[in-house]
Amino acid sequence: MRKLLYLVLFPLLLLGCKEKQNVDTSYVSPAPSFNEDSAYQYVAEQCAFGPRVMNSAAHDSCGNYIARKFKTFGATVYDQYADSKLYDGTPVKMRNIIAAFNPDAPARIIICGHWDSRPWADHDRDEENHHTPIDGANDGGSSIGVMLELARQLQKDLAEKDDSSLFALHPSLGIDFICWDAEDCGTPSWANDGEDHESTWCLGSQYWSGKRHLDGYTARYGINLDMVGNANTIFYRERISMAYAPTIVDKVWAAANRIGYGKYFSYDDEGGGVTDDHLQVNRGGIPCIDVIGTDTQEGGFPATWHTMDDNINHIDKETLKAVGQTMLEVIWTEE
Ligand code: AHN
Ligand code: ZN
What is 254-286 written as a DSSP string?
HHHHHTT-TTTB--S--------HHHHHHHTTS
Q: Which ligand is nearest to the CA of 187?
A: 1
Q: Which of residues 44 and 12 earns the better pLDDT score?
A: 44
| 12-332: CATH superfamily | Zn peptidases (3.40.630.10)
Q: Which ligand is nearest to the CA of 293?
A: 1
Average pLDDT on 118-127 reads 98
Ligand 1 binding residues, C-beta < 6 A: 139, 184, 186, 201, 226, 274-276
In one letter, which amino acid is 328? Answer: L
pLDDT at 23 (0 to 100) = 65
| Nearest CA, atom 6, ligand 1 | 276
- Atom of ligand 1 at shortest distance to CA of 202? 6
| Distance of alpha carbon 40 from alpha carbon 260, whole angstroms | 21
* Nearest alpha-carbon partner for 175 in 121, 103, 267, 236: 103
Three-state secondary structure of 118-134: CCCCCCCCCHHHCCCCC
Distance 118 CA to ligand 2 centre (A): 6
Average pLDDT on 283-307 reads 97
Q: Which of 70-84, 140-154, 161-175 has the lowest mean pLDDT?
A: 161-175
pLDDT at 13 (0 to 100) = 44
Q: Which of 153-167, 209-223, 300-314 has the lowest mean pLDDT?
A: 153-167
Beta-sheet strands, E only, within the chain: 76-85, 91-101, 107-114, 173-180, 221-226, 233-235, 288-295
| Distance of alpha carbon 37 from alpha carbon 188, whole angstroms | 34
Percent with pLDDT over 70 in the chain:
93
Tell me if residue 61 falls in helix, strand or coil.
helix
The vertex-311 CA angle with 308 and 316, nearest 5°, equals: 135
Give the neighbor-by-neighbor strand order of the sheet with 221-226: 76-85, 91-101, 173-180, 107-114, 221-226, 288-295, 233-235
- Atom of ligand 1 at shortest distance to CA of 306? 11
Q: Please tell me the pTM assigned to this model.
A: 0.93
pLDDT at 2 over 50: no
Write the pLDDT tens digit of every residue in 194-252: 999 999 999 999 999 999 999 999 999 999 999 999 999 999 999 999 999 999 999 99
For residue 230, the number of C-alpha atoms closer than 13 Å in the C-beta half-sphere is: 26
The vertex-116 CA angle with 115 and 119, nearest 5°, equals: 160
For the chain, how big is the Rg over CA atoms in Å?
A: 21
pLDDT at 163 (0 to 100) = 83
Domain limits of the chain? 12-332
Write the pLDDT tens digit of every residue in 70-92: 999 999 999 999 999 999 999 99
Q: Which ligand is nearest to the CA of 228?
A: 1
Write the pLDDT tens digit of every residue in 242-260: 999 999 999 999 999 999 9
Q: Give the DSSP letter of residue 310.
A: -
pLDDT at 1 (0 to 100) = 39
Residue 171 CB partners (closer than 8 Å, separation 6+): 102, 105
| Nearest CA, atom 4, ligand 1 | 275
In one letter, which amino acid is 176? Answer: D
Distance 149 CA to ligand 1 centre (A): 24
- Atom of ligand 1 at shortest distance to CA of 275? 4
| Distance of alpha carbon 316 from alpha carbon 144, whole angstroms | 15
Distance 294 CA to ligand 1 centre (A): 12
* Candidate of 117, 118, 181, 201 to mutate for ligand 1, largest count of ligand atoms within 8 Å of Cβ: 201
* Candidate of 117, 142, 183 to mutate for ligand 1, largest count of ligand atoms within 8 Å of Cβ: 183
Is-contact 50 134, C-beta < 8 A? no
pLDDT at 5 over 60: no
